[in-house]
Every structure is written in structure tokens, then in C-alpha cells.
Structure 1
Amino acid sequence: MNSFDSLKLLPEILSSLNKKGYKKPTPIQAQSIPHLLTGGDILGIAQTGTGKTAAFSLPILNNLGSNKIKTKPRHMRTLILTPTRELASQINENIEEYGKGLGIKSTVIFGGVKPRPQILQLKKGMDVIVATPGRFLDLMSNDQIQFGQLETFVLDEADRMLDMGFIRDVNKIIARLPKKRQTLLFSATMPQDIVNLSKKLLVKPKKVEVTPESTTVEKIDQKINFVHKTNKPKLLINILEDQSIEHVLVFTKTKHGANRVVKHLDQVGITSAAIHGNKSQGAREKALGGFKKGTIRVLVATDIAARGIDVSHITHVINYNLPDDPKSYVHRIGRTARAGRDGIAISFCDDTEKKLLKDIEKTIKYQIPQDKDHPFHGVAGAPAQPQNHRRPSKKASANKSRNGNNQQRSARRRPAKKKPTT
């Protein structure tokens, strides 16, 4: 398929795609869109960067625009469930861009913000709702959402839903869906739980698989840097001294680790921000917005928060910590080399992470080349602080202070000894 024109989409959609510079559909779009335009179900196995969002949103918009119906208050025609707030916002932004001129009403529903504005939006009736399971279930349980006009249901990033423990919420929502509907299920991987879910959800689906599971994008230049754990901050700063590296996504294992990395970078004047579950929605959107605009050079993220980062110009992905799940490595480095660009993925590996590296290389069937030329290769880390130099805990200090005060009070209460007479 050579162009979007051959897909027979509405003129308004084709105009929006043309303005964004999209000429030729990606493999998943070429395989999915014609089938979805006819109302069929889809089981899509697709990783980050394959054009999955447009693959399901373009036919949905086309069907909604071709068959306009007034939506009743608290009703919707399309429900898209996705695991993270960032991804929900990103999908809704794409729907608004692709659907310009169609008069399609869409909104996002997620936690971390006050529910009142979302409830007011729902009262208007929506063509498309993009939601995370938790907040959507809360509103559904309070009768703020009705399913009488639902035509299409999309379950996006299904494997991540399972990883994040959302499967119970998802099943409760599925139980309320009308039996007659179009259903789309997308997942980067296909564990048995997803296979079972697909059998329950889908009716005679077309299976679309565009990238073999756990393979990496060929355009990504991968490197592994062996480094002592205490030298990781110095190595990161050394890499970022190259001013030509403009848009960098750094992955850490924990939220606190992300905050520490930002602190190190701020101390040397490198603009950075952290994005993770402990941040407020406003702070997360501000960080992601600054990264997209280029005012923030380095975005430091955890795996879960990064699922909503859809930025085409990321040049470098740096794994400050290797992930426990080898498949997460594939998702991480897939954030670069998007929209036809090349990309670089650099991974730090200390002594405690060597087993994780072996698991990754076994999964991707590729031995990642070592970079032995970086300045901290083979350099010992800072010595550990001696035990007797540790600062006393707050509790110990408080006990010491109380004991000292008690001794002083006891001394004041005891009568002074009389001097012996001579």
C-alpha cells in the first residue's frame, strides 16, 4: 500500500495526515485500517513506534465521521482503555489532530486530578473517551458513565495492564460492555493471560503482527558501558557534555533513583526533569511538555511513566539501570529511532546487573557491543563510608538527648553531700 489515499478515508482525515507529513501507512496501519473500516475485530501485536495509535484511531474517526449520531449525556460511542495517564493524553491529542474538521468530541479520564471537570465533560456526551481503568471504574460505579451507545472498545497496551495489576478493573469494565460491538486489542507481547483475554473479548478477529516479539529496531546503535555503581552519575554527565546530544531519555529502576539523577544533572547545569508515579499530573505534563519543546534536554523516567512518551525526536536512550524484565529493554530503546530516524541506546551495567544483561542479550538474540573507551571503564568506585562514621539515626539522637536530660534532672534532685568535719 503506497499511500493513505488508497485507504478511502474521509477528506478531513487525509487533510490532517497531509499536514502532519504522513504519506505512507506503516505496516500495522496498512494491515489494520481496511479491516477495521468494515467493522471487524483486531488482535494487534505491536511494539512502541510502529504507528499503532493511528492504526486504530483513523478508522474509528472515519466511522464516527461517516455516521454522526447525537450522543446522550454520560454516554460514549468509543471507549479506549490504556494503562497510563501520559498515554491517555497522547492518544487523545492524536485523535484531536487527526479528526480536525469532523466535529468529533473526545476527552480523557484519569486519576491524579479532581474528578469534577471530568464529570462535567461526561454530561455533554462524548464520541470518544480515552481512559485509565481506575478513574473510569470509579465514575462508572457512581453511575456517571453509561454504555447504551457504545460501538467500539479498544484495549491498548494489554500486557502492561496486566503488569500494573489493572486486570480486575478491566474485567469489571468489560462486564458492562454491550455484546454487540467492535473490539480492538493491542499488546506488545502475548503472554497466556492475554491470549485468554483475547478469546473472551474478540469475535473472529484478524491477527496483525508487525514486529516479532522481543526484537529490537535495526536502526538503533546499541552499546553497553560497564561501570562501577558509584561512577554512574559521573559517566552520565560525561556523556551529556557533548552538546550535540539534545533530546535524551534516561531510564531508572525506581522513582527515587529518577529524582537522584535529576539532582546530579541540575548541580552541573544540565536541564532535566523526572517523570514517575509520585509526581502530580500537572508536574508530569509540564515535564513532558518541556521535553517535547526542547526546553528540557533530559527526561528521566521509570518504565511505567514512559509508556506515554511519544516524542519522535529522541536521539538517545540511556539505561541508567538495566530493567528486571528483558522485554522492558526492547520497549525502552524503542523510544528512539522513530519516524524513520536513527537512534542510539547506551546501557550502564554494574556488577550487580550482569545477569540482567545476559537475560536481555538472550531475549533479543544479540550481543550488545561494549564501549571500552569511556573514561570510567575499569575505574574503581568511591570507597564505602566506615561504619563508625555513620551519623546516628534520629531515634538514637532523641534517646541520647532524653537520657542526658534525665541525668541532669536526677543530679538536680539529689542533695549535695556534706563535707566531712575536721
Structure 2
Amino acid sequence: MTPGYVPSPTRRRLAAGLSAAALAAGTLAGLPGPAAATPATGQVTGPVRAAARAEVPCPKPDVKPPAGRPARPTPPGDDPVLRAVGGDDLATDGLVAPAGVKPPPALTATSWLVADLDTGEVLGGCGPHVYGTPASVQKLLLVATVMDKLDPKKTITITDDDLNIEPGSSAVGLLKGGRYTIATLWLGLLLQSGNEAANALARLGGGSGGVRATVAAMNAKAHQLGAYQTHAVTPSGLDGPGQFTSAYDLALIARDCFAKADFRTYALTKNTQIPAQKQLKKGGFQIQNENRLIFNYPGAMGGKTGFTKLARHSYVGAAQRNGRRLVATLLGAEASPLRGYEQGAALLDWGFSLPKDASVGKLVAPDGQDATGTAADEPAPARSAAPATKAAPAAARPAAGTGPGMPLVAAAAVAIVLAATPLLLLLTQRRRRVRRRPRRRPQAFY
């Protein structure tokens, strides 16, 4: 099956949410929507209703693309359901930003997104659901999938298969027969983007199924996080046919990674020593973190760089300031006039300049949780002295007072009120644009 396909039960749930949101946005006048920017000036104006909004070009620097840049791979066809995950205002190839804020920076990135790691609010984006090729930022999906499965203190031995990487691609310098701790492999993966470290970690994380099992688990993990546009072919992010992600999906994956204490420690490590291999008569050496954000940006939390000739530069970076933790993701960038991490830093600066209540969408909660992080199989905490109860699905709840013997006119009146209730709720909740996730994990589709 093609990347981007979502099984029917999940698609029906997502499409139902999209239809309701689109109905409210397109038929009711006076609702505040996301802002638009005037192409000539770049000034953000608004509000504009989503249904009436013309697509706004993303700010770009006046530079020519480098000669010899490969043609971008053909992505899966656009799917209106997937493009609206997190809010129908995100379903654009252009700019989406809050009303009344300063314009975002002009970047070479094909697509980007800025979000709050804690609240999940999306602060702005450029083609947030546009398919892109991930390069090494895909290693974050490997982190999200297997880091919790592996003991960082365990020592393993590097094999021939681990070292089977594309010639000239990034490597730590691990040796066949060398013995290293799992923690050393994670450091090599995140500091130097070591593809042989990715192979070793994927082999170990897949158990008897090896790398292939881990790649399958990475795709399942992406779906569990709501990253439906992400399809992994390699654990390292080295290019493979049909391998795609989006700026929105990368933010979901990054949010999971930054929730892990070990990842936060590794990502902020500036340099480390790769141990000597006495049995191989080879000395140790030092490696340094390639993510320059942690050296130059106040409050940096780390992240991941990426580059292949096909994908161009990709980047994920996070920082904290004044009690806020933001993440910036970008795909398809060129290194001039700003390098990948510098484009990430510019997006973070823009995000921190926005009001704390700024929002154009939402990072959806993982399967099994609602939008607040509460387990979906459990009742939400009670807001009053009354005990919390689990509500039945709307379709299964009888309307109050519609039992046998109720007059037909009264029943019709109740039905009209009930039919209007979801629309009224949309009116009151539109500002947050929370898109609920399905509670059951979708079936694997790759």
C-alpha cells in the first residue's frame, strides 16, 4: 500500500472531525480564523475565515537554488483528511500564522512548523503537512521507537551488517568486533549522526527480527503518535523509495523524544569519548555534537540535524525560555544564506516572540490519550466534588425524555437541540482547534 494510507476505521474518525470543522469554518460568518500575510509586504493581517482564505506564500529569501540539486521524489497524493490532522487551518501548502503577529523569518526550507512542546499548540507553519524527505532527522523516530527498550549500560559487539552503510555517509567510526555500550551508540547516533550506530540500535531493538522488525515498529510508532504522513524505509534516514514525513509529523515525534530524560541528556552532550578497543589494538577518539544550536542558542535543548543530496537539509531543534518549551522542525532547506540549525533558531526566536495563547492548530495526542494527556480508557479527573463518570458514545446515549410514550413533536424538538449541540460546541472550542485522535491504534499498513 502507498504511504499516507490510513485504515478505514481511523479515516472515518479523522474525516468526521474534518467535516465538522470545515462546516463551522465555511458556513458561519464572523468566526476568527488564522491570519493571512500580504505577499507584497509580508505583514500578517486577519482574521480571515478558513474557508475563504487564499493560500499565502511562505516568506523566502531571494537566493537561487544550488546547481545540480536532484529532483525531489514524487510524494504520495494529497489527502484532505491527513492534511487537516491537528486542525483544518493547517491544510495549506502556504503560510499559516496567528493574526496580528510579526511575519516569520524568510527561509529556504520547503516546509516548517513551530509548536509548544508542553501545550501542543501549533504556533505557525509553512506547508506543515507537505510531504518531505527526512534524511537523518528520521533517527528521532528510531529514538522514539527503541530507546526505552534498550539498557544503556549493556555492552554489545558491532557486526558486519551494522557497518553496511552508504559509502561517504555519516558515521561515528565504530569498528567491526568493537564492544560499545548502548549509551555510546546513542551518543554516536545523536552527536555524529552515525548510520552504523543506527543500524546497530535497530538490530538490537528488533530482537530476532533485527532491523526489518525495527523499521516496521518505527512505522507503527509513527501512527501511534498520529504521524500518519511518516513512512520509514531505513532506520537511519538514508534515502529509500517511499520514505517521507512532514514538518507536523516531525513535531509529534520530537515531542515524544523530548519526554525522555536520556534523550535530553544525549542531545545536550557537546562532546564525548569513543572508547579504545584494546582487543583490536585501536585507540579511542573524541566526537563533537554537530548540532550547533546547543553551543550558540540560549536555552537550547538539542535536536537533530539531517542532510542527503536528495532530501537537502532537515532540522529539528527545541529550546526553553520564560517557562515555555518550543520545537521547530523544517524540511528541504538549503545551507545558504542560513544553515539548517540557524533556520531552526530563527523559527524559535519567532515562536518565543508570539503571545503565549497564540495558536493555529494542535499537536494531536498519541493513541490512548485525549488532548490533555489523560488515558482515553480512563475517565478524566473530576472537576468538582461529583464523581467522574465515563460518558457513553453519543450514538449510544438515549436522548433525555425520549422514552416510549413521548409526544412526537416534543421528540422532534429534542432532536433539533441535540443536532445543534455539536455546532455550538465547535463555536466555543474553535479557538483551540483541538483535533481528537482515535482511541484505538490503527492497523499497520505498510
**Which TM class, normalised by the smaller chain length?**
under 0.3
State the structure with bigger RCO (CA 8 A, min sep 6), 1 or 2.
Answer: 2
Please state which structure has a larger fraction of its residues in helix.
1
Q: TM-score, normalised by structure 2?
A: 0.22
Based on CA coordinates, which of the two structures has the bigger radius of gyration? 1
